[in-house]
């Protein structure tokens, strides 16, 4: 069952620093259906991911996100753990 996760980053610069290490553009993870990021008027960044399963999301967090947090000095994000995964009940893919 696909799952949806919503998380935040304090700033665009902070998101981009972690994203550079994670390298989604060149190495998309197995099980990722969609990754979208937006900057709010206050400067906070909202991140929405849709995964094929909670297990795929957890593996990506363990293998790539948490090491990227550690490499970029974001220890407080590691302490928070991964965002809550919600089972989707309606998901439509684009054409």
| DSSP code string of 74-85 | -HHHHHH-SPPP
Q: Is the pLDDT of residue 77 over 70?
A: no
Confidence category of residue 83, pLDDT binned at 50, 70, 90? confident
Q: How far apart are CA 45 and CA 8, in angstroms?
A: 5
pLDDT band at 78 (very low <50, low <70, confident <90, very high): low
CATH topology of domain 3-87: Alpha-Beta Plaits (3.30.70)
Residue 95 predicted with pLDDT over 90: no
Domain definitions of the chain by residue range: 3-87
Q: Are 60 and 29 in contact (CB under 8 A)?
A: yes
Residue 54 is inside which H or E element, if any? helix 54-60
Cβ atoms of residues 88 and 2 within 8 Å: yes
Tens-place pLDDT, residues 11-28: 999 999 999 999 999 999
Residue 82, pLDDT score? 76
CA dist 68 and 82 (Å) reads 13
pLDDT digits (tens, 9 = 90+) for 23-75: 999 999 999 999 999 999 999 999 999 999 999 999 999 999 989 988 988 77
pTM above 0.95, yes or no: no
């Amino acid at each position: 069952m696909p799952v949806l996760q919503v998380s935040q980053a304090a700033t665009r610069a902070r998101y981009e620093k972690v994203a550079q290490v994670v390298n989604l553009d060149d190495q998309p993870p197995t099980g990722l259906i969609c990754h979208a990021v937006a900057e709010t008027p206050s400067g906070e960044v909202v991140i929405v991911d849709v995964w094929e399963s909670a297990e795929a999301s957890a593996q990506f967090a363990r293998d790539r996100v948490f090491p990227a947090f550690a490499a970029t000095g974001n220890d407080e994000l590691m302490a928070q753990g991964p965002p809550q995964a919600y089972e989707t009940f309606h998901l439509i893919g684009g054409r």
